[in-house]
Amino acid sequence: MDGDEDEDKAKAIANYTIGQDLVELSIKEISDTIEALESEIKRLETVKSKKSDHLSDAAALFKS
């Protein structure tokens, strides 16, 4: 992916509001937004998993 595509995806996510009217978006804007949101979901899931693991480890430590 080149810099222009990265910039387009960053703009897509920055300009997207949950629940917004999607009629005015182009197919490319919709695709870029979907890709950006999927990447953000993966990032959130990774952090959530790490925090959950950390919490489980801490709980196990205090059970001992």
Q: How far apart are CA 61 and CA 26, in angstroms?
A: 52
Residue 45 is classified by DSSP as H
| pTM to 2 decimal places | 0.68
**pLDDT tens track for 44-63:** 999 999 999 888 877 887 87
How large is the average pLDDT for residues 14-21? Answer: 89
Which amino acid is it at 59? A
Neighbours of 22 (CB within 10 A): 10
